[in-house]
Structures are given as structure tokens and as C-alpha cells.
A and B are shown apart, each in its own frame.
Chain A
Amino acid sequence: MVEDRSAVARLFNGVNKVLLIVITLLCILPVWYTLVISLSDRAAVAGGDVFFWPQGLTFNSYATIIEDGQFFKSFFISVERVVLGAIIAFFVVLLMAYPLSKTAKEFKPRNILMWLLIFCMLFSGGLVPWYMTMKSLGMINNIWGLVLGGGLPVFNVILVMNFFRNLPKEMEESALIDGAGPWRILFGIFLPLSTPVMATILVFTIVGHWNEFFQALVLMTKNENYPLQSYIRQVTIVLNPAKIDAESAKRLATMSNQTLNAAKIFISMLPLLMIYPFFQKYFVKGITLGSVKG
């Protein structure tokens, strides 16, 4: 690219860069602030002395969490949910996308099924009917309610199906001539070629299950069955002093354990922060895979 070296252009580029750095800092500072609070002394935090650097560096909050049985219980419920949810979504979506990638000529019910899927993606019965159904299916206080309760991930099916349709037709045709059946074609030819799209839907599924808190709030009647996000919500948001009037806010602020809550928030972010660098390249690809170019 040809660089514009005029004075105006240089001034513009300088200001532009500074603005971008400020914007970027705004995105990361809240996360940093949480880490700083979690590592600071309780009294210093309550006194409002902590900003960008820990005051009275201490790991007390983290030590307290290690003894908190419910935190770990919820952590492992979340892990279980993510693992089950990701495995099931991976295979169900894969198996569904292959037949639907056929044309309506090859596989007659294809178009009707597609419209059914689209309808289910865009329309839902709403919260109350969903809750009633989950209750009658025995999903209350049941991990499967969290794994399956969101319904079939239709959007992911469409994403993978579109990817299959863009693969060269000749590969499948020659495999058919050689006598390969559908299982062989799907798992021997299509799946190995689909790493980008399958990785993308895995990333979205994992993040979605890890972050979901509301279904558990509705389906789990006992706090001990809460996954991590619902538990964090219980301790940091339901009892948050910022939501009440000024007087009780002051009173509660001295009582609530801000450093401990910050530590809990930080640990619940940690798994995502750790895998984030590895999955970044997949979601960038995935978001542009979404549509068919007409």
C-alpha cells in the first residue's frame, strides 16, 4: 500500500492511533480492574483506594474460594454441561447437516425439513410454555435440562450444511461410484474437510453453554444444582449494593465482600481467557461462513 506522507495525513494517523489505543484500553480495563480488586486488601477496597494496582497484595480471596464447596460444585456442573453439550451438538449437527446438504431432487423431504427448521429458529412458544414443557419432560433439577433445553441449534446446522454444499460435488460422486455409503462419505470425506466450520460451531457451543445462566435459574430449584454463572449471579448481582438506595448502599458496601466476589468473577472468566487465543482464528472465520454468496 502506498503511504501518504503529507503533514495532515501524519497528524490524522497519529490521532487515529491514540484513539484506537484508548478504545482498546476501555475494553480490557474492567477485566484488569476486577483482577486488581480480587488481589487487594479488603479494607483498602472498601475505602475506595484501589484503582489500577493492587493495594496490600493478598491472595486471601483465592484461598477462601478454595474452601468454598459450592463454588467448586457449580464449577464442575458447568464443566459437565459444556462437555455433554459440545459432544451432543457436534454429532447431532454433523449428522443433520449431511442429509440436508442434498438437493431436493436427491432427497425429497429436504425443503420441507429446511422450512421446519427455519420456522423453529425464528419462532418460539415463549418462556412459560417452554417452562411447562421442561417440567413435564422431567427436566427440573436435571443436568439434561441444561444440555438439551435450548433446543436444536438450528443456526449451526445451517452453517455446516452451507459448508457441505460448497464442497466440490465431484468428490462425493466419485466416492459413490467406488461404492462408499453415506456413513463413509460423511466421516471419511466430509468431516476431515470441515475442520474450520466444525471448530467454529464447537467454539460457539462451548462459550454458549459456559455463559448460560438463565435456564438454570428457572430449572434448578436448589442452589446447589446451579452451574457457575448462575451461582456467580446469586452472590454478586442479587445482593449487589449498587442496586439499592444510597443509604443502604453505604451500609451494604462495608458488609459485602467485594474482593471475594471479584475473585469469583475472575476465576469464572479464566477458562475462557485461557482458550481464547486458540479459538480466535476459528470464530473470525466462522462469522463470515454464515451466509451463502448469491
Chain B
Amino acid sequence: MSEAFLNIIFLMLLPGLIWLALYNLLPMYGVLMAFKDFNPGLGLFKSEWIGLDNFEYMFQLDDSKVIFKNTIVIALFKMLGNLIVPFVFALMLNEVKNRLFTRSVQTIVYLPHFLSWVIIAGIMLDIFSYSGPINQVLSLFGAEPMLFFANPTLFPWMVVFSDIWKEFGFAAIIFFAALTSINPEMYEAAAIDGASQFKRLTRITLPSILPVAVLLGTLSLGNILNAGFDQIFNLYNPTVYSTGDIIDTWVYRAGLIDMQYGLATAVGLLKSVVGLVLISVSYTLAYRFANYRIF
């Protein structure tokens, strides 16, 4: 490559690099706030260093145990559900040979993924409201009306199930792709040898897409601290903080509502660092065992 060519392609990078510097890198400098007694009047640079005081304080708070536990529990159940449900769904749809049927089903189940959590939460809160259709149906069976999103026991389940409802169709796309790459001759050969439909499912289809499921499961390990801010922020309320408050929602309230800048930054930083380590581990595993890389 000539000198002139290299200069031009460097120029091409500039807009992106400026964007990256101002909106991705500059905020990272702000993590110093976690180690300082931040005083907005003095600014970040002149505020006093306090070492790990914010972190010590965080570990003394009862809140922090609750939010870490809630985050991990919700994220874990979402990871499992969002792996198993799309997997089973893809297998079920794969058994249907009518193209019009499969195409229509796919079009409809992908849709919820593209609606925002604001919209979905608005709809969910209506459907599960005190006088909403779900409670009406339950009352036919003599059940007392329940406040699904204001009940600490039910809330985490509502979060997990509504997330699976929204995402399973879209998550199944990757399994559909894996299913179409199975060589059809294998099925034909098996049928000629007298294998039933069930045998073909368990002996050909399952082993062919199981590696994809394992890979996706490994990659999702990095999300163990992401319980879904957008969703919970729109669905929760103070009565379910004990089981529904997660790290991200807590950081929002502590940092931007109560203005405990240092503490909120410290909690956020801890989450970011742990997340980075987990993602690196899961990507390394995926690379080692499945030769998966992102670039």
C-alpha cells in the first residue's frame, strides 16, 4: 500500500475515532469518581482522593447484597429460558413441512423483539392489571385478583417470562440457520433405512444443532450481571425492590436521583469490571472449543 493510500484510509477512520474518543473513552475517565469524594463544585480533577472508601461502604450496605443477588437470579433464569425455549421452538417448527405455515409463524414470533420495553411494559401492565383480562379469567375459576407486578414473589417470574416471551422467536433465528445447513441427504438415507420421524429427530437433527446451543450458552455467560435494565425499569415499583431491584436500576436511583455520585460510580465500575472478565472468559472458551471469533 502506498503512502498516499494509507493517509487516505487513516482519514476515513477519523470521524469514527472522534466519536469513540468523546462518547466512549471520555466517560471512562469519569470512573475515577469511584475513588474520590466527588464534589461537583471542585470538579473531578480537584476532588479529594479517598481510595477504596466507596467500595467499603458499598459492601456494608444491605442493598448491595440484595441487588447483586436479584441481578444474578433473574439473569440466570433468563439465560436458561432464552436458550431452551428457542431451541425447542426451532425443533418444533422444523418438523412442519408446510412453507406457508412456517413463514407465517416466523414472521409473527420475531415481532415482539422489535417493540421497545416501554411499549411492552405498557401493554403487560394493562393485561395483568387489577381489572385486566388475566385477572378476569382467573376470577372465573374463583381466584382473588392479584397484582402481578406489585407482588415480590411473583415479580421476578413475571420479568423472566415476559423476557422469554419477547425474545424467544428472535433467538430462534440462529437455530433455524443451523437447521437449514443440515444436509437433507442424511434424512433421506435414514428414511430409506427405515428410521421413523422421531428417530431422525433424535439421531440427526439434535446432534447437529446441539453444538450451536452449547456455543450460545457459553457466550451468554458474560451476561450474568445484565438482568435487563430497560425491562425492569419499566415494570418495577418500590413494593418489589426486595426481589426486583437490580444493579443497574439501583445505580440509576443512587446516582442520578439521590446524587450519591461516588457510590453509584463504584457499584457501576465493579459491575463493568466483573462483566468484562466474564465476557473475556466466555469468548476465550468459545474460541478454544468452537473456534468462534468475532474478528
Asked whether A128 and B119 contact (CB < 8 A) given A120-B24, A288-B174, the answer is no
Q: Does A27 lie within 8 Å of B111, measured CB to CB?
A: yes
Q: Does B123 lie within 8 Å of A30, measured CB to CB?
A: yes
B132 contact from A230, A242, A250, A265, Cβ within 8 A: A242
Residue of B nearest to A129 (CB): B30
Q: Does A177 contact B (CB under 8 A)?
A: no
Residues of chain B lying within 8 A (CB to CB) of residue A95 = 12-13, 15-16
Q: Indicate the member of B111, B275, B279 with the most A CB atoms within 10 Å.
A: B111
B28 contact from A16, A113, A129, A276, Cβ within 8 A: A129
Residues of chain A lying within 8 A (CB to CB) of residue B114 = 207, 211, 272, 276
Residue of B nearest to A248 (CB): B130
Distance in angstroms from B253 CB to nearest chain A CB is 10
Distance, CA A149 to CA B26, complexed state (A): 12
Residues of chain B lying within 8 A (CB to CB) of residue A183 = 8
Residue of B nearest to A99 (CB): B9
Distance, CA A243 to CA B244, complexed state (A): 13
Residues of chain B lying within 8 A (CB to CB) of residue A214 = 229-230, 233
A129 contact from B16, B27, B92, B104, Cβ within 8 A: B27
Name B49-76 residues within 8 Å CB distance of A.
none
Distance, CA A26 to CA B169, complexed state (A): 12
Footprint of B on A, CB under 8 Å?
1-4, 6, 8-9, 12-13, 16-17, 19-21, 23-24, 26-28, 30-31, 33-34, 37, 46, 48, 51, 91-93, 95-96, 98-100, 102, 106-107, 109, 113-114, 116-118, 120, 122-133, 137, 148-152, 154, 157-158, 161-162, 181-183, 186, 207, 210-214, 218, 229-230, 232-233, 236-237, 240-246, 249-250, 253, 258, 261-262, 265, 268-269, 272-273, 276-277, 280, 283-284, 287-288, 290-292, 294
Task: A253-B131, A276-B114, A280-B107 given; name 17 further pairs at CB < 8 Å.
Answer: A1-B187, A3-B97, A30-B127, A34-B126, A92-B16, A106-B1, A113-B13, A122-B276, A129-B27, A133-B26, A149-B23, A152-B16, A182-B9, A233-B234, A249-B147, A272-B115, A291-B294
Which 4 pairs between the two chains have the least Cβ-Cβ distance?
A129-B30, A126-B268, A294-B291, A211-B116
